[in-house]
Every structure is written in C-alpha cells, then in structure tokens.
Amino acid sequence: MHRARRTKQKSCRPLTSYVYENLCQQDGDGASSWTSFETFCSCTSLHGWKYLSREVNRTLRFGWVAVVLASMGVAGFFLGYSLNDFLSSTVQTTQDTSR
C-alpha cells in the first residue's frame, strides 16, 4: 500500500492580515521581509510567482524572475499607453438650438 507524500504547506491568510503582520512589523536585519516575500510568493495565485522562492533551483528562479519582470514591464507599458490616450483625448459636445 502506497501512502501519499505530505508536503509542508505554508498557511495562506487574507492579504490585509498578511501585510500588517509581516510587512509592517519588520526586524532591523531584513530577514522578516524576505520571509514575507517568500510567503507571498507561495500563497499568491499570480502565475510564476511561486517559482521566485528559495525552494527552486537558481536557473529556474532566474528564468522566472526574468518572466515576471518582463510581464510587469509590459503591463506598465500598456498602462502608460492607455493613460496617455485617455489624457490626450478630448470630448466635444454640441447642442442643437435650431428647434
């Protein structure tokens, strides 16, 4: 009979309690911020972020860092493009008074 392997899972909590407990109460050495980042990466549903933790080998982690940074860059580009398009567009209304 085969037993299923149990993997150690980190507890994932709502984002507000996570931010307050882990990011707002940092130690002076910065260790808690790295632990908080690893917890965020393992708990988020964003694709690719779980591969940024120390549990993954360096080559795979480097590749996923590149993918995540590239996707954030593309998202920033599209956000800037949309914002520029919105701010440069004008709305002109006319009222027909001939009646």
Residue 48: strand, helix, or coil:
coil
* pLDDT at residue 30, rounded to an integer: 53
For 69-98, what is each residue's pLDDT tens digit? 999 999 999 999 999 999 999 888 888 888
Q: Is the pTM of this model over 0.85?
A: no
At a CB cut-off of 8 Å and minimum separation 6, what does 32 contact?
22, 25, 26
- Of 81, 82, 80, 52, the C-alpha closest to 64 is 52
* pLDDT at residue 44, rounded to an integer: 82
On whether the CB atoms of residues 35 and 27 are closer than 8 A, the answer is no
For 11-70, what is each residue's pLDDT tens digit? 665 555 555 555 545 555 556 677 778 888 888 888 888 888 777 788 888 998 899 999
Q: Calculate the CA 60 to chain-centre distance.
A: 18
Cα 55 from Cα 53, distance rounded (Å): 5
Cα 51 from Cα 57, distance rounded (Å): 9
